[in-house]
Amino acid sequence: MPYTGVLVGKSIKLSRLKVDSFRFEMLRALDNIADGIEADFEKTFETFEEKPEFKRNLSLSKGLMVVDVFTEDINYNRLNYGTEEHIIEAKNAPNLVYKKGYTSKTVPRVIGSRQSSYAGPTRRRKSVIHPGFMAREFDKVIQKKWEPRALRRLEEAMRRATKASGHGR
């Protein structure tokens, strides 16, 4: 199943450090980075009635640190990746009822959301050909924003961990 998420990481080379101090600092930094990434994802759906659930995986092992913040929510993934043109048919009523003019809650490649709006005359149809919508690519925008930030935060955490281990200045 596809998912929308952001994965950032950094390889590390361990020398003689106090492992517990190092691990604590690095996990704290990874958690802080995940908080920021998740906050950016939350901005993309803050005006939605149904909110997707995001999860996180933090990993610190074998010289690699990884933050993975993601959702498997099918509707959010459709929004993130876009949809093709498709037919929508009335199922629980004789007709679909809609207005032709519509302003979406989200904009491609923008971290944020707004209230949607409808305009124009009300239409009733048994089915419509929906044109699909452009991929919002929230994951790509958030990844681009967070890769350099994550690198800086992890390097700062390594300096703190080195100092806590009795090395460095």
Does residue 109 fall inside a structural domain? yes
**70 shares its domain with 138:** yes
pLDDT tens for the chain, 169 residues long, are 566 667 776 666 555 666 777 888 889 999 999 999 999 999 999 999 999 999 999 998 877 889 999 999 999 999 999 999 999 999 999 999 999 888 999 999 999 999 999 999 999 999 999 999 999 999 999 999 999 999 999 999 988 888 877 766 5
pLDDT value, residue 22: 81
CA distance 50 to 53: 10
Closest-CA residue to 106 (of 44, 53, 49) = 44
Which of these, 157, 130, 167, lies nearest to 16 by C-alpha position? 167
- 97 and 65 in a single domain? The answer is no
In this prediction, residue 13 carries a pLDDT of 59
Q: What pTM value is reported for the model?
A: 0.84
Give yes or no for a contact between 114 and 105, defined as CB atoms under 8 angstroms apart. yes
**Neighbour-count burial of 96, counting CB atoms closer than 10 A to its CB (0-12 exposed, 13-18 middle, 19+ buried):** middle
For the chain, how far is it from start to end, CA to CA, in angstroms? 47
Give the model's pLDDT for residue 1: 53
Q: Please report, for the domain that includes residue 50, its CATH number.
A: 3.30.300
User: What is the DSSP pairing of strand 86-89 with strand 64-71?
Assistant: unpaired
Structural domain contains residue 169: no
Write out the residue range of the structural domain in which residue 46 sits.
4-76+134-164
User: Crossing angle, helix 19-43 and helix 138-164, to 10 degrees?
Assistant: 160
Same-domain pairing of 60 and 95: no
